[in-house]
Chain A
Amino acid sequence: RKEVEQDPGPFNVPEGATVAFNCTYSNSASQSFFWYRQDCRKEPKLLMSVYSSGNEDGRFTAQLNRASQYISLLIRDSKLSDSATYLCVVNMFGNTGGFKTIFGAGTRLFVKA
């Protein structure tokens, strides 16, 4: 089982739709969580951190479910410019005792007019 797993998609949605992605992680001792956005052939950019109580930034809502070991990203009122790959990132304790940062392979989103 991969340490961080995402549905690769692609998710094809019309403009204005609401879409949600999940990301599961294997280590229950994981410490911090993030969503990044990566446009085609570009670098990842931090979209938002994920807090235990859930957090919102405009049309984007991130949630953490520690009991089931997953995080989610909800995008409301999708725009054409939201088309990108969304990467889930988890910081967890490694086997050697230190922290390590694990990137998911990403979920591709296409928003169509």
Chain B
Amino acid sequence: DGGITQSPKYLFRKEGQNVTLSCEQNLNHDAMYWYRQDPGQGLRLIYYSQIVNDFQKGDIAEGYSVSREKKESFPLTVTSAQKNPTAFYLCASSINDGTKQYYGYTFGSGTRLTVV
């Protein structure tokens, strides 16, 4: 079955440590996204990529980095520069239909990151 897989499900980070969250999809989607969800807030966009080897900053990119070397993969690194990283991180993918945006997202099951 096609889908989008995130790992790990739970991740604990020590102060000053960089951690990488994995996101893999086999839906043949061009566009991929990383969102962060905090309690009582809507999802906030961290980074997105509409095509391989290209990505753009979202609304809250500071302290994060990404790469898009393969169509299927869009890993997110949470660096030590991110001061409040404890959150639920969601990866999503979609058909890239340019400006039409008539397709919704498929989300992975998420990674819960906690700073210890």
Contact = CB atoms under 8 A, between A and B. Distances in A.
Interface in B92-112: 99-102, 104-110
In the A-B complex, the 5 residue pairs with the smallest Cβ-Cβ separation, listed nearest first, are: A43-B107, A103-B42, A91-B101, A46-B104, A103-B43
B45 interface: yes
A45 B107 contact: yes
Interface of B is mostly: loop
Q: How large is the interface on B (under 10, 10 to 19, 20 to 34, 35 or more residues)?
A: 10 to 19
Interface string B72-116: 000000000000000010100000000111101111111000000
Interface of B: 35, 40-43, 45, 88, 90, 99-102, 104-110
Interface of A: 4, 8, 31-32, 34, 36, 41-46, 49, 87, 89, 91, 99-106
Interface of A is mostly: strand
Contacts of A99: 99, 101
A31 B90 CA distance: 24
Nearest to A35: B104
Given A31-B101, A101-B101, A44 B42 contact: no
Given A31-B100, A44-B90, A99-B101, A87 B107 contact: no
18 contacts: A4-B42, A31-B100, A32-B100, A32-B102, A34-B104, A41-B88, A43-B107, A43-B110, A44-B107, A45-B107, A46-B105, A49-B104, A87-B42, A99-B99, A100-B45, A101-B45, A101-B105, A105-B40
